[in-house]
Structure 1
Amino acid sequence: MTIRRKITNSSIKELHISDSRMNDTELSGFHARISAKGRITYYLYYRLNGKQQNYKIGTHPEITSVQARDVAKLAHASVVKGIDPHETRKQHKEDEKLARLSTLEAFLDNQFTKWYMAQYPKSGDREIKNLKKNFRKLLPMQLRDINAATVERLRTEMMNGKASNSTINRRITTLKSAMSRAVEWEVIEKHDLKKVKALQEDNSRIRYLTFEEEESLKRDLSARDFRIKKDRENGNRHRQDRNYPLLPDLSNKTFADHLEPLVILAMNTGMRRGELLSLTWADVNFEREVVTVKAANAKSGKTRHIPLNQKAKSALLNWKLDCGQTHWVFEGENHQPLKDFKKSWSALLEKAEIVDFRFHDLRHHFASKLVMAGVDLNTVRELLGHGSLEMTLRYAHLAPEHKAKAVNLL
């Protein structure tokens, strides 16, 4: 049975299943239906271009009668203008769907990440995670709404947070890469992040070991090695007395653990920390005395071959004998590459009384010693894997004899 009453919260409460339908007495076509299970739904009935339509507004109590009336009025006004509310709703849903797919987060997840990982298999996963972390505020934004002014504000926050200029520049570069791919793949028409100019970086820092520091580092490495072996020997003696299982004997090994061969290799090849930890024994050719850094593991994305001097070769040979059959040169837990050695490295520097020195500075030490020994800068560039000579030029001042020879030509 259909009843006629003004649709209000009170009248809706009085609607029974037997009533079936309530037609509003004020707004033509506005009505409410009640199902056999007692669920009430609001509709607007209208005619447009000779076509009859029943426009679903929503269900009670998710939407109140007042809210339903407001929606019905808007839909009725559209009909008067010749606009079909059904078509408007379809377009609105399409717009909402498109909007969900064109946020920065959706673009990263659905398109950019896969491409970026293929381009940078070694660092891609870490860079994408950092991108989402550093630009969390941008993730729900539409790509088209991300502009230079917004990014500048976020960059200012990063600068106030004491992040270095080089770190901030790397973050912005990754974001720009994502936005440029969005333009290239026709997700958006354009972006203006080119206006966000790179911050000035200070690449002049070259920290290398003095002769005294290098000797101190080597001496404390050996002392550390001896101490670890002695502790293991005493520990096993203690275990044996108590019938505990013994730990692997270290007395017949050249190195007690990974730290000393890592340092020796870094000092004599100039390899980056990530390149060292990504090495497999297949990358080491003892016969040709060369170690290969694969493109996938190199910062430049290019393969390079580094000659092994006797110190590096000897360290690797002995370390291989110590390790046995492993895939990775520096293997950690579960047959995966070693992830970190920060704690042992920091303890070593403290013992050797060496300050303001990072593991990466061993790369500077390698390059500096080469330049001071008279090796030309282009050869140093090739060994370091620099993309251009500009990065290598910062070591030029370490070869004063070259400048002296040039002046003496006058």
Structure 2
Amino acid sequence: MRRSGAKTFIAQYRIGGRGNPTRKVTIGQVGKLTVEEARDAAKEVLSKAALGNDVAAERARKKAELTVNALCDEYLSEGCGHKKPLTLEADTGNITNHIVPLLGRKKIGEVTRTDVERFLRDVAKGKTAGEFETDKGTRRVKGGAGAARRAYRVLSGIFTFAVNRGYIVSNPCRGVKAGADGKGERYLSADELQRLGDTLRIAETEGLPTVLNDGVNDKHRPKDLTDRRIEVSPHAIAAIRLLLLTGCRRNEILCLKWEHVDFERGVLNLPDSKTGAKKVYLSAPALQVLSDLCENWRTKDFEYVIEGAKQDTPRDLKRAWTTIRRHAGLGNLRLHDLRHSFASMAVSSGMSLPMIGKLLGHASAATTQRYAHLADDPVKRAAESTAGTIAAAMGGNAGTVVAIRRAGE
């Protein structure tokens, strides 16, 4: 019986003596088979086992004849029930764009570690990159090291699924070094935070000045840029402010609905997030942003707090964030880095990691540990302050810095 409530009849047996491992064979689902039918099928399996015929091994051999393409189809239909829609969408993209084109025709029992390493190299070199016409429009596929690592992680999960189902004995991805993502975490400095705040104020009052992209043909450039301003949606500006003031993930704000906002208690009651349902406690500045939106910019027909171009869709922040980021001079700062900045401010103010984990909605304490190194600065300041106080009380000079001599000096 699974956590989902699905029930399955199985037969369990052992080939040979007690020292050999037991085997399990799925007979069928409860409801599709009666108890009597399941018992008859189980008796047949156990009879073969008594004669030395391993039904589970025979089934595994047949499943090993599956192609990677067929395994991917089974994985998407039966192995992703626990995944969020966006994660499932990303997995499907990696399967369609990289895994099936490079490995789809191979039998899963024939895929080796060398094949996986070649797969990584091919995706990194852009072998699967290109533009492809589909029923939904043009699909643009990019290669590169980052794309290779993401596709590899999906591939490893698919083969783990195959191992758990008994189709293959081991995961060919095991031991392959895909490398770290290397993007690191970016935190807003005090100066950057000031520039971002100034940019948001200019954007919502007078609009941002037009900036021409390099490489644009002169004849296509506007003659006079003096009065040209880029208008940024007040909903996009509010979304960026809320990301900074709450530490929420991007889609937790973009998919936020008015029914989730409790002004009286000052909380967001999110029915779903990366870690499940959770409450987000709102500060006074965050409540003010929501109150201004509700009073000045809320459209009755829209259920989303951050209104999009269409009534039933949330807003896309890509263009607005690119414009604001460029004007503020924030380089390649990502929207997700606003969440990291929220966490870094919390650490600098002396909050404990468990408390920060609750603020951010982390399901595991290990996730919050990424911010542990940021606690060094406040701890260092506390140590200096305490030692200075003690030294002053003892009549010493708290501000003297002693140089440590090197060996041989």
TM bin, normalised by shorter chain, reads: 0.5 to 0.7
Query: Are the aligned partners of 1:144 and 1:191 in contact in 2 as well (CA < 8 Å)?
Result: no
**CA deviation after TM superposition for structure 1 residue 116, in Å:** 4.4
- For 2:290, the aligned partner's letter is L
**CA deviation after TM superposition for structure 1 residue 309, in Å:** 0.5
User: What does residue 225 of structure 1 align with?
Assistant: 204
User: What does residue 191 of structure 2 align with?
Assistant: 212
Cα 1:265/1:184, change in 2 over 3 Å: same
Query: Are the aligned partners of 1:101 and 1:107 in contact in 2 as well (CA < 8 Å)?
Result: no
Which of these residues, 145, 160, 163, is aligned with residue 183 of structure 1? 163
Cα 1:284/1:168, change in 2 over 3 Å: farther
In structure 1, C-alpha distance between the alignment counterparts of 2:176 and 2:303, rounded to whole Å: 44
User: What aligned pairs does 1:15-164 form with structure 2 within 5 A after superposition?
Assistant: 102-109=66-73, 111-123=74-86, 124-135=88-99, 136-160=101-125, 163-164=144-145
Identity between Structure 1 and Structure 2 (%): 26
User: What does residue 318 of structure 1 align with?
Assistant: 292
- For 2:106, the aligned partner's letter is M
- For 1:324, the aligned partner's letter is T
Which of these residues, 271, 285, 294, is aligned with residue 262 of structure 2? 285
For structure 2, list consecutive stretches of 5 or more residues without a partner in the other structure: 1-61, 127-142, 209-231, 391-409
Query: Are the aligned partners of 2:353 and 2:368 in contact in 1 as well (CA < 8 Å)?
Result: yes
For structure 1, list consecutive stretches of 5 or more residues without a partner in the other structure: 1-97, 230-254
Cα 1:289/1:101, change in 2 over 3 Å: farther
User: What does residue 272 of structure 1 align with?
Assistant: 249
**CA deviation after TM superposition for structure 1 residue 277, in Å:** 1.9
C-alpha deviations, 1:135-159, integer Å up to 9, x for none?
Answer: 2211222222222210111112344
User: What does residue 173 of structure 2 align with?
Assistant: 193
Query: Are the aligned partners of 1:258 and 1:330 in contact in 2 as well (CA < 8 Å)?
Result: yes
Query: Are the aligned partners of 1:280 and 1:328 in contact in 2 as well (CA < 8 Å)?
Result: yes
2:223 paired with 1:258 = no
User: Which is helix-richer, 1 or 2?
Assistant: 1
In structure 2, C-alpha distance between the alignment counterparts of 1:213 and 1:404, rounded to whole Å: 23
In structure 2, C-alpha distance between the alignment counterparts of 1:100 and 1:157, rounded to whole Å: 24
**CA deviation after TM superposition for structure 1 residue 315, in Å:** 0.9
- For 1:312, the aligned partner's letter is A
C-alpha deviations, 1:240-280, integer Å up to 9, x for none?
Answer: xxxxxxxxxxxxxxx95321111111001111222222222
In structure 2, C-alpha distance between the alignment counterparts of 1:101 and 1:284, rounded to whole Å: 52
In structure 1, C-alpha distance between the alignment counterparts of 2:337 and 2:165, rounded to whole Å: 41
C-alpha deviations, 1:79-116, integer Å up to 9, x for none?
Answer: xxxxxxxxxxxxxxxxxxx899922222322x211234
In structure 1, C-alpha distance between the alignment counterparts of 2:252 and 2:111, rounded to whole Å: 35
Cα 1:316/1:150, change in 2 over 3 Å: same
In structure 1, C-alpha distance between the alignment counterparts of 2:162 and 2:69, rounded to whole Å: 12
In structure 1, C-alpha distance between the alignment counterparts of 2:117 and 2:89, rounded to whole Å: 25
2:151 paired with 1:171 = yes
In structure 1, C-alpha distance between the alignment counterparts of 2:290 and 2:324, rounded to whole Å: 21
In structure 1, C-alpha distance between the alignment counterparts of 2:205 and 2:349, rounded to whole Å: 32
User: What aligned pairs does 1:4-19 form with structure 2 within 5 A after superposition?
Assistant: none
Cα 1:344/1:156, change in 2 over 3 Å: same
Matched residue count: 284
Cα 1:168/1:306, change in 2 over 3 Å: farther
Which of these residues, 343, 347, 350, is aligned with residue 326 of structure 2? 350
Cα 1:206/1:126, change in 2 over 3 Å: closer
2:339 paired with 1:363 = yes
**CA deviation after TM superposition for structure 1 residue 362, in Å:** 0.8
In structure 1, C-alpha distance between the alignment counterparts of 2:124 and 2:363, rounded to whole Å: 28
Cα 1:195/1:396, change in 2 over 3 Å: closer
In structure 2, C-alpha distance between the alignment counterparts of 1:227 and 1:377, rounded to whole Å: 40
Helix, strand or coil: the match of 2:368? helix
Cα 1:102/1:344, change in 2 over 3 Å: same
- Return the TM-score normalized by structure 1: 0.61
**CA deviation after TM superposition for structure 1 residue 118, in Å:** 2.2
2:345 paired with 1:334 = no
Cα 1:304/1:170, change in 2 over 3 Å: farther
Query: Are the aligned partners of 2:68 and 2:105 in contact in 1 as well (CA < 8 Å)?
Result: yes
Cα 1:343/1:201, change in 2 over 3 Å: closer
C-alpha deviations, 1:355-390, integer Å up to 9, x for none?
Answer: 232211111111111111111111112222334334
Helix, strand or coil: the match of 2:174? helix
- Return the TM-score normalized by structure 2: 0.61
